[in-house]
A and B are shown apart, each in its own frame.
Chain A
């Protein structure tokens, strides 16, 4: 059973501040890492898919980095806005064809005005 850990479990951030959180995974089982944003009453929305060690991806104010050798990924949000409030999920794909993703429990981010 793969263990994908996310920390912190929840986070309160003041509007305008920047923040980051972590996803850890077993480096020996790496094929691809996915980040999703899951807002209340909506479907999880894909943010990034990362496959290469040292990869860095950016989408607006959100960016992510990947270290496959040590088994972690960071998600950064610059200048947090209320609409960034959501649960951020990371998920590991460990290979094997059509196998699904192994998700962490998520980081619940609340942006306070």
Chain B
């Protein structure tokens, strides 16, 4: 069966510090991978998606970036965090196919930028 992992589970970082969040998927190959964020008072917002190694599409301009160095690994990064980067970050995967496929979410990372 497939599982999705995210770490760390919680993170408190000062403004201006770098960020690296990691997501890995097990039990499937060549998944579509997604990063979402839920900021306070807002719905889940798609940040990035990837259809393969090295292929990243960005939905929202921001100071975050994503990378996919391996088939089942998805990394969210920032060189300098802003207060507005605080939120709950979810990674998700789906089989390659249509948008009618269920997306499966990881446990999330709670990021607080102070």
A32 with B99: CB separation less than 8 A: yes
B residues within 8 Å of A by Cβ? 4, 32, 34, 36, 41-46, 49, 51, 57, 59, 90, 92, 96, 98-108
Q: Nearest chain-B residue to A93 (Cβ)?
A: B99
Option from B42, B102, B106, B108 in Cβ contact (under 8 Å) with A105? B42
Which B-chain residue is minimally distant from A45 (CB atoms)? B105
Known: A43-B90, A98-B32, A100-B59. A49 touches B101 (CB 8 A): yes
**In the docked arrangement, what's the CA distance between A105 and B45, Å?**
10
Q: List 16 A-B contacts (CB under 8 A).
A: A4-B43, A32-B99, A43-B105, A43-B106, A46-B102, A51-B100, A93-B100, A95-B99, A98-B49, A98-B96, A99-B46, A100-B92, A101-B99, A102-B46, A103-B45, A104-B43
Contact check: which of A42, A49, A97, A100 meets B46 at CB < 8 Å?
A: A100
Interface of A is mostly: loop
